[in-house]
Amino acid sequence: MYRISLLSLTLSLSTLCANPQPDIIFVLCDDLGWGDLAFYHEAKYTPQISSPNLDAMAAQGLQLRRHYSAAPVSAPARASLLTGTHQGQSEVVRNNNFDAALENTTTLASLLQHAGYKSALIGKWGIGGGDQSAGCPNSSAAWPSKRGFDYFFGYHNHIAGHSQYPKEEGNRAIWDRDRVITDSLDNCYSTDLFTARAKQWLIEQKKHEPKRPVFLMLNLTAPHARLGIPNCPYPAGGGIKGGLQWLGQSGRMINTALAPRDSYINPEYRNNQQWEKRARELNPKHWKRTLLAAQRHASMVSRIDDAMGDLRQLCQDLGIAKNSIIILTSDNGAHNEAGSIAGRPNHPSPQQNPAFFTSYGKSDGIKRDLWDGGLLVPCLIYAPGYIKQARISHTPSQFHDWMPTLAELAGAPIPLRSTGTSLLPSLLGNPQPMSGVYSEYCYPGNMPCYPSYAPNKQHRKRGEQQMLYFCDSDGRELKAIRSNIRSGYEDFEIYDTLRDSQESHNIADQLPEGTQEQLRSQALRMRRAYNYQHDPALSKRKGAISGKRPYDNIPIPANQAQSTQQGIQLRQVKASSPYVPTLESLSPLPISTSQCADLGNLQLPAGSISELRGYIQIPPSAQGWQFRLRLSPVEGSKAQLRLHQLPLIDADSNYKAGDYASSSSTPNAEEGIVCGNRPIYLQPGLHEIQLNIIQGKAAAGNIQLQWQRVGERAMQNIPASALRLKLQ
């Protein structure tokens, strides 16, 4: 088993618990709105859904009150979460690109595997590849076991993941590793099924390998659509002997597999006059249907709360509570989708109305909106060994921040490809730097109109949407957003979401002249455009390629003019890593610093990791460029080249030392998805670059870096004069 060398180092959090590698339980809900949880609510939001277990965890945990999903819909959000990249840098899964294969690169699971963790994915996947609504271990390039998970139990494709009773709702495939077991799952409610299996997996792991840390990703399907509810009250107690239990018997797989299914509404939500009044206000003609939908939705959320209390008790029973971290969040904001169940024409549940519980919280927007109601998600971290009293963070953060966070917790290097910001300062009660929060998404039509929405959201057009965060001169963390983008040159609306949670007061005209140009430049420097093509001969999936934007061909602005000299800064360290890391995450290993005048003469010591930082000078009147690099053919050599904040060349996970890696390729895409010969458009001038290289242990080596203007026939070595270093 590969153990990263940094595990021998002392982490700052080692003083908080005996083992610097905590057990990590990451619970990802489906369409759980910010306002669906009682501890997020303010008094003016009524009615509320009861969540006593989560309330108790919040009273001793950390709430991230401005935590953003990567996208306002499931598949791209999950892909960005797993790869540590926001939606401007995800290679394949963008927009509504469901079931496309998650790129073959370092994931949260594979990173933790390298650090010695045992990993499991239990629940919904939906980014495995294979034909849509199908797929199996042999036909799906991104089966969970191929992306870092030692064990998989659950729904592979996203359509199946809409079912709350897998056997009874269309016989949706539940996989146990590489075997379908749906026929054995009579009356198994999905939240109960996945929670019971997760508990059993944890019990088994701590019995057989008690000292080995675990990473459990529990992807619940509730409260997404369908509005399927449990079939009985939650079993008493929790942990090893109580709560949900895995029985493993065909026809009675779990202890709540009882008839009649889809029948249990929490008694707390029946005969409630306040709820009836709310239903009559929202839908006077069909208020009973609205009330029933709300009762069902609330029962689903309460079941999640029960499951979280059960897992919390299990950690205590296993003796791992003080060295475990439980994270609860959601893939996107609240939904308003139909509640009918496939195969049950008389199912009584209508469409869920997110206005009933103000499921979008204090914001406007729902699933598929980049306004906060669609992108801002609940996020609770419960870690009694790290967090002694309740804390709340209002610093903006996003899904791609989990990769550096979990890497630091595991004592592993942070992959350079991830542009996230570690949340460890928040976990330890220290000031938290703001992440590079960014998202882009396209969906036709208009936003719905709910009574509490601000006037600027009523039936607002969606279309191409883009958002990012930035700090103004007063230190305010502001959100810039634009929708229905046509050209890419449109201005952003700007909101102070900490003080204006509904994004109702656009303060763009209050900011200095030039702010809009700076924001357009920042957005272009954060994202990468790919030229996807689909080869139908290589895959059954058609129409799966998306993510082209109106601003894809706008040249990326150069850095401001400044005094430079020829050369580039070089930092080196003797270390090893299974992927290209940031040098900062290798601290406190000694790092040597020098300058390199010419890459052609640079020797990379065997068993070293190098970082080259500086600028590349793009000549005048040249906008379209392609780049490539080649490392010496020494096994284990890898590299990542970044331009500004975007990935330019990826010679990491799938790179063979000695080959060329190109900026026009998508090396991590699979299943018939290829990238055309697309140039990257750059304004003339200085452009910031960072090149990190792992040199294989067997021998020293060198690097060849080349470029080509659009219209030229051949690549040429980038001259030494084009690499620039800022004068001190």
Q: Which tens digits make up the pLDDT trace of 169-201?
A: 888 999 999 999 999 999 999 999 999 999 999
Is 660 a residue whose pLDDT tops 90?
A: yes
From the list 637, 587, 614, 642, the residue with the least C-alpha distance to 419 is 642
Per the model's pLDDT, the better-predicted residue between 233 and 591 turns out to be 233
pLDDT band at 223 (very low <50, low <70, confident <90, very high): very high
- pLDDT given for residue 671 in this prediction: 76
Residue with token string 């997404």: 224
Residue 154: left (phi > 0), alpha (psi -120 to 50), or beta?
left
Percent of the chain beyond pLDDT 90? 81
Mean of pLDDT values over 564-570: 95
- Token code pair at residue 632: 């010496």
Instruction: Report pLDDT for 1.
Output: 28
- State yes or no: pLDDT of 342 exceeds 70: no
What's the 3-state SS for 583-608? CHHHCCCCCEEEEECCHHHCCECCCE
Q: Would strands 23-29 and 214-219 be described as parallel, antiparallel, or unpaired? A: parallel
User: Quick one: average pLDDT of 406-426?
Assistant: 97
pLDDT of residue 186: 97
In the predicted structure, residue 518 carries a pLDDT above the cut 70:
yes
Dihedral sign of CA atoms 227, 69, 490, 619 in order: negative
Mode of pairing for the β-strands spanning 638-643 and 685-694: antiparallel
The size of the chain, in residues, is: 728
Give 363-403 pLDDT, tens digit per residue: 999 999 999 999 999 999 999 999 988 999 999 999 999 99
- pLDDT band at residue 678, thresholds of 50, 70 and 90? confident
Is the CB of residue 274 less than 8 Å from the CB of residue 47?
A: yes
The pLDDT confidence band at residue 337, using thresholds 50, 70 and 90, is confident
Alpha carbon distance, N-terminus to C-terminus of the chain: 45
Are 707 and 629 within 8 A, CB to CB? no
Mean per-residue pLDDT for 48-52? Answer: 94
d(CA 591, CA 573): 5
Domain with CATH 3.40.720.10 in the chain: 22-440
Provide the β-strand partners of residue 359: none
pLDDT (mean) for 536-549: 59
Contacts of 32 (CB under 8 A, 6+ apart): 222, 223, 301, 304, 330, 334, 377, 378
Q: What is the CA radius of gyration of the chain?
A: 25
Q: How far apart are CA 543 and CA 657, in angstroms?
A: 34
pLDDT of residue 347: 64
Q: Which pLDDT score, from 0 to 100, does residue 605 have?
A: 97
Contact (Cβ atoms closer than 8 angstroms) between residue 190 and residue 165: yes
pLDDT at 6 over 60: no
Average the pLDDT over 324-335 and give the result. Answer: 97
pLDDT, tens digit, 9 for 90 and up, residues 466-510: 999 999 999 999 999 999 999 999 999 999 999 999 999 999 999
Q: What pLDDT is attached to residue 202?
A: 98
**CA–CA separation, 459 and 482 (whole Å):** 15
pLDDT score of 102 more than 70: yes
Give the pTM: 0.95
What mean pLDDT is reported for the chain?
Answer: 91
DSSP code of residue 509: G
The span from the CA of 187 to the CA of 190, in Å, is 9
State the architecture of 564-669+677-726 in CATH terms: Sandwich (2.60)
- DSSP secondary structure string for all residues of 273-302: HHHHHHHHHH-STTHHHHHHHHHHHHHHHH
Q: What's the CATH architecture for 22-440?
A: 3-Layer(aba) Sandwich (3.40)
Which one, of 561, 682, 566, lies nearest residue 619 by Cα?
Answer: 682
With bands split at pLDDT 50, 70 and 90, how would you rate the model's confidence at 3? very low
Q: Which residues pair with 415 in a beta bridge?
A: 581
pLDDT at 381 (0 to 100): 98
Element (H, E) at 616: strand 608-618
Note the pLDDT tens digit of each residue in 618-634: 999 778 999 999 999 99
The mean pLDDT value for 157-175 works out to 91
State the average pLDDT over residues 641-654. Answer: 96
Per-residue model confidence (pLDDT) at position 85: 97
Q: How many CB atoms lie within 10 A of CB 346?
A: 6
- Residue 204 above 70 pLDDT? yes
Q: What is the pLDDT of residue 676?
A: 66
What local confidence, expressed as pLDDT, does residue 530 receive? 81
CA 31 to chain centre: 14
Percent of the chain with pLDDT over 70: 92
For residue 122, pLDDT over 90 is answered with yes
Work out the pLDDT band at 11, boundaries 50, 70, 90.
very low
Average pLDDT (428-440) is 95
**Residue 618: how many CB atoms within 10 A of its CB?**
21
Residue range(s) occupied by CATH 2.60.120.1560 in the chain: 564-669+677-726
- Which phi and psi (to 5°) does residue 485 adopt? -70, 135
Task: Fill in the DSSP letter of residue 620.
Answer: T
pLDDT at 2: 30
Buried b (16+ CB within 10 A) or exposed e, 643-669: bbbbbbbbbbbebebeebbbbbbbbbb
Q: How many C-beta neighbours within 10 Å does residue 151 have?
A: 18
What are the start-end ranges of the H helices in 174-286? 190-208, 273-282
Q: Which of 122, 184, 173 is nearest to 151 (CA)?
A: 122
